A and B are shown apart, each in its own frame.
Chain A
Amino acid sequence: MSTPVITTPAAEAAVTGRAGVGRRLTSFMPVIALVVLLAALTVADPGFLTLNSLTAAARTSAPLVVLAAGATLVVLCGGIDLSIAALCSLATVFFALWLPDAGGLTTVAVIAATAAIGAVQGVAHVLLRIPSFIVTLGGMSIFSAIALVISDAGPIRVVDRDATHWLTLYVGGVVPMAFVVALLVVVVVSLVLRLTPLESWIRATGYSESAARLAGAPVDVVKIAAFTVSGACAGLAAVMLVSRNFSGSPTMADNLLLPAVAAIVVGGTAITGGHGSLWRSLAGALVVTLLRVGLPIVGVPSAYEQILYGAIIVAAVALTLDRSKVLTIK
């Protein structure tokens, strides 16, 4: 019954240049933030802008970039994936447990498993019509529970380091392989989107799901695919984490959820869907990483890191939200 009377589209609200200015500003926001941060850190500590520390930062950022890139697809479709960090933790446990048996195939197996888990979440969201944040919130706690049970709540050491050795290499002696892989993920996924109708479908789904459906776009398939890729990315990020920590642990990646969400929204991808890109999340992830490594440099206790994430997420969402779409904000 009672349908909003006020909210019936009152006018042919022609979109004018004004909205464009804000958009243009937010589209450069992540890059500006990146440059400003780099400059500020260099001023604070002239020793920061060295190859060594930049390489270290790039290496640290790799799992975050991958996680954020995958979840960006879900956000572009208008949903959210809150399970990435828990799934990533679970995947580190998988990796540690399977390595002795699967050997070199472990990486592939883990990524396939997490992709399948992501697909299951997507199917639950699409078929059962449960809001994505509830499905993935539920997923988050289920994955954590599974990880705790199969790992017996403790870290599992990875003895055989050959399987992840390739990720610790440096391309040309300077660029960490993990970062190259992360870049590759962004490039490949972006290219696939750009070169196929997928981008059209994803954006249409995110901007206006009902319009996309009525235009015959395969909305359900696109959404499930987005969750699948998001799951696969969580698996890849897990392999990267294992390559660094030489162990799998049921809580290893749990503290990456907020940074990943922050990376996406700082990049300027609208939480309402449609607007944004993986490139933005790459920039956002670099911003977040710089903040992380930079705060101690400028003498801010790392406890402020959390507060900063909270503030950044709220502020960035406020800046990028497509208010024309959300009539009542819940």
Chain B
Amino acid sequence: MTTNLSRRPEPRVPASAPALEVRGLVKHYPGVKALDGVDLVVRRNEVLGLAGENGAGKSTLLKALVGLVRPDAGEIWVRGEKVRLGSITDAANHGIGMVFQEQSLVPNLTAAENIVLGSEGPGVRHGIYRWNTLRRLAQEQLDKIGSHIDPLARTDSLTFADRQMVEIAKVLRIEERTSHPPVIILDEPTSVLESKEIETLFTQVRRLREFASVVFVSHRLDEVLDVCDRVAVLRGGRSVGEVPAAEAAPAELHRMMIGSTGSDDHYHGAAAERRDEPRRPRLVVRGLSGRSFRDVDLDVHAGEIVGIVGVHGSGREDVCRALFGAEPTTAGDVVLDGEKLDLSGTRAACAAGVGYVPAERKTEGMVGPMSVADNMTLTKQKSRCTGPVVRPGKQAKLVDGWIERLSIRTPDRGTAIQRLSGGNQQKVVLARWLVAGDVRLLLLDHPTRGLDVGARSEVYRLLRELANQGVAMVLLADSLEEAIGMSDRIVVMSDGRATTEVAAPTGDKPTPLDLVKEMV
């Protein structure tokens, strides 16, 4: 049952006004429109699910709701009253609190202190702690959610699930600031929990509904439908609709999240005329184990793009880094073109012809203040040197050639890379592995993260071209569509293991739903 949200709700009388209402929220980042006119209504005493793919604008919206991001346009109404949320304290004063995805507790304080942090009230008088009062205040909060945690336990000695309870208890402190029922936002609360703990959490969420409104964000659609009353869907920074949870199926939600598949055609089927000769795989991974993954097997042929999909915490990022020698492994063999790959460090990987494009482009992918040319030749120094000596002329020729080949838009090769747009930065990062012409395996960790549509399709074209030249690639895609569109084969990872493999040849692509079923 899809209700279209395009109509603008008229202001209502406060008595029946929704707990929280968002109208036409817009937030621009350079090159990206994170929020493009989002509308959202959170009713009183309901659990509202918020679904959307990576980059749909969920996290920006949540941050706007707790005053961490200032929207460029649009309004936020709380109980029929228009508000400006300039800080997290503002939001708390209006009864809006959030449990962050990355937990936000001070590990070395007691649970009690964390619960009252910043709003100690009578727990601290004239700068002096009154531990008994503090403990009582915290106990009251924990009682609200029926938790039996010792308030004086150090937070870092609690389990993850218990810490989450502490967070919820903490966020409920905003009740002390306002007489109205609060709005509690839970951002990806289940991503690191086990199934038993998830059940406990859901019990809490249902309990919260008795006296509060809850916004529940999760990647796992079945969970969203399980615990929520209503689900609102975001896509590309817009609200695309909402469904009552009781009547919806994950499939329907997913269709709304990704929209019509027609618009993504620019990379579908582009692999048409690739030669398809079966031979020994270029990369053979057997039983690779590390901190967050176990017994991973993986084959990648030359010219093949293998996508790895999985939810947050599936361990796929670490597998990718491990193959580049940037994450320790405990067991397993990796063979590249018949030779054992040395996983002891990044230099060995580079020397063996492995390339890696990190997800965090700004902090890990590029050296911001250095020039385009120096970034491009950072890895393959030999390509610009004669012996040990750098030849500026050689470098200039090489870099200019690649700037033209990849149509990188930059004033010149001496420009600091941080002045380029995201897409052009990413092309420079990719070019780093290509300049020497010896790359055999490319590990791509979210290569299109933060790029706009145009830049994305350019990166897609470039990757496809590289595949056609015989480079083997492992792709951690930003979205399922990207994984499906780009990959020849898709490996599904779940809880640190490669669970399933799905073939995705041109013309016979699996649907996102096929993959989702395997992922959760």
The answer to whether A and B touch directly, with their CB atoms under 8 angstroms apart, is: yes
CB within 8 Å of B: which residues of A? 1-6, 9-16, 194-197, 200, 203-204, 207-208, 210-218, 274-275, 322
**B379 near A215: Cβ-Cβ < 8 Å:** yes
Given contacts A195-B389, A204-B370, contact A9 B105 (CB under 8 A): no
Task: Collect the chain A residues with CB atoms within 8 Å of residue B347's CB.
Answer: 216, 218
Minimum Cβ distance to chain B for residue A12 (Å): 4
Minimum Cβ distance to chain B for residue A75 (Å): 15
Mask of B28-72 contacts with A, CB within 8 angstroms, 1/0: 011110000000000000000000000000000001000011000
Residue of A nearest to B187 (CB): A5
Q: A2–B102 Cα gap in the complex (Å)? A: 6
Q: A197–B388 Cα gap in the complex (Å)? A: 8
Q: A9–B365 Cα gap in the complex (Å)? A: 14
Given contacts A2-B106, A207-B367, contact A15 B419 (CB under 8 A): yes
Question: B430 an interface residue at 8 Å Cβ cutoff?
Answer: no
Given contacts A3-B102, A196-B390, contact A216 B346 (CB under 8 A): yes
Mask of B356-375 contacts with A, CB within 8 angstroms, 1/0: 10100011111111100010
**A214 near B103: Cβ-Cβ < 8 Å:** no
Q: Which of B301-330 contact A (CB under 8 A)?
A: 324, 326
**A12 near B30: Cβ-Cβ < 8 Å:** yes
Starting from the known contacts A10-B29, A217-B379, 8 additional A-B residue pairs (CB-CB under 8 Å) come to A1-B107, A2-B106, A5-B63, A208-B366, A208-B367, A213-B326, A213-B346, A216-B379
Q: Which of B392-442 contact A (CB under 8 A)?
A: 416, 418-419, 421-422, 432
Q: A310–B297 Cα gap in the complex (Å)? A: 59
CB-based closest 5 A-B pairs: A216-B350, A197-B381, A3-B102, A12-B30, A11-B29
Minimum Cβ distance to chain B for residue A154 (Å): 46
Q: A203–B68 Cα gap in the complex (Å)? A: 33
Given contacts A12-B29, A14-B419, contact A211 B346 (CB under 8 A): no
Residue of B nearest to A197 (CB): B381
Minimum Cβ distance to chain A for residue B70 (Å): 10
Minimum Cβ distance to chain A for residue B123 (Å): 21
Q: A11–B27 Cα gap in the complex (Å)? A: 11
Question: B104 an interface residue at 8 Å Cβ cutoff?
Answer: yes
Q: A2–B163 Cα gap in the complex (Å)? A: 11
**B68 near A6: Cβ-Cβ < 8 Å:** yes
Task: Collect the chain B residues with CB atoms within 8 Å of residue A212's CB.
Answer: 367, 378
Q: A176–B480 Cα gap in the complex (Å)? A: 70
Task: Collect the chain A residues with CB atoms within 8 Å of residue B141's CB.
Answer: none
Task: Collect the chain A residues with CB atoms within 8 Å of residue B367's CB.
Answer: 203-204, 207-208, 211-212, 215, 274
Determine which residue in A12, A14, A16, A212 has the highest number of CB atoms from chain B within 10 A of its CB, and name it. Answer: A12
Q: A297–B386 Cα gap in the complex (Å)? A: 52
Task: Collect the chain A residues with CB atoms within 8 Å of residue B356's CB.
Answer: 214
Question: B349 an interface residue at 8 Å Cβ cutoff?
Answer: yes
Between A and B, 29 residue pairs with Cβ closer than 8 Å are A1-B156, A2-B103, A2-B106, A4-B102, A5-B63, A5-B68, A5-B104, A9-B362, A12-B32, A12-B422, A15-B419, A195-B390, A196-B385, A200-B370, A200-B374, A204-B370, A204-B378, A207-B368, A208-B368, A210-B363, A211-B363, A211-B364, A211-B366, A214-B365, A215-B379, A215-B432, A216-B346, A216-B349, A216-B351
**B432 near A196: Cβ-Cβ < 8 Å:** no
Task: Collect the chain A residues with CB atoms within 8 Å of residue B421's CB.
Answer: 12, 14
Per DSSP, are chain A's interface residues mostly helix, strand or loop, or mixed? loop
Determine which residue in A13, A200, A203, A218 has the highest number of CB atoms from chain B within 10 A of its CB, and name it. Answer: A200
Q: A121–B114 Cα gap in the complex (Å)? A: 40
**B69 near A10: Cβ-Cβ < 8 Å:** yes
Question: B239 an interface residue at 8 Å Cβ cutoff?
Answer: no
Q: A195–B107 Cα gap in the complex (Å)? A: 48
Q: A279–B474 Cα gap in the complex (Å)? A: 45
Residue of B nearest to A9 (CB): B362
Minimum Cβ distance to chain A for residue B430 (Å): 12
Question: B267 an interface residue at 8 Å Cβ cutoff?
Answer: no
Question: B377 an interface residue at 8 Å Cβ cutoff?
Answer: yes
Task: Collect the chain B residues with CB atoms within 8 Å of residue A210's CB.
Answer: 363-364
Q: A294–B106 Cα gap in the complex (Å)? A: 51
Determine which residue in B32, B326, B378 has the highest number of CB atoms from chain A within 10 A of its CB, and name it. Answer: B378
Q: Which of B195-212 contact A (CB under 8 A)?
A: none
Determine which residue in B103, B367, B388 has the highest number of CB atoms from chain A within 10 A of its CB, and name it. Answer: B367
Determine which residue in A1, A9, A194, A275 has the highest number of CB atoms from chain B within 10 A of its CB, and name it. Answer: A1
Mask of B3-35 contacts with A, CB within 8 angstroms, 1/0: 000000000000000000000000001111000
Task: Collect the chain B residues with CB atoms within 8 Å of residue A207's CB.
Answer: 367-370
**A200 near B324: Cβ-Cβ < 8 Å:** no
**B100 near A5: Cβ-Cβ < 8 Å:** yes
Task: Collect the chain B residues with CB atoms within 8 Å of residue A2's CB.
Answer: 102-107
Q: A16–B368 Cα gap in the complex (Å)? A: 13
Minimum Cβ distance to chain A for residue B117 (Å): 12
Q: A181–B432 Cα gap in the complex (Å)? A: 39
Q: A232–B100 Cα gap in the complex (Å)? A: 50
Q: A4–B106 Cα gap in the complex (Å)? A: 11
Q: A204–B326 Cα gap in the complex (Å)? A: 17
**B378 near A5: Cβ-Cβ < 8 Å:** no
Task: Collect the chain B residues with CB atoms within 8 Å of residue A215's CB.
Answer: 346, 350, 367, 378-379, 432
Question: B485 an interface residue at 8 Å Cβ cutoff?
Answer: no
Q: A195–B381 Cα gap in the complex (Å)? A: 12
Return the contact of A12 from the options B31, B68, B363 (Cβ within 8 A).
Answer: B31
Residue of B nearest to A206 (CB): B367
Residue of A nearest to B429 (CB): A215
Minimum Cβ distance to chain B for residue A319 (Å): 16
Q: A194–B106 Cα gap in the complex (Å)? A: 46
Q: A170–B347 Cα gap in the complex (Å)? A: 47
Q: A216–B367 Cα gap in the complex (Å)? A: 13
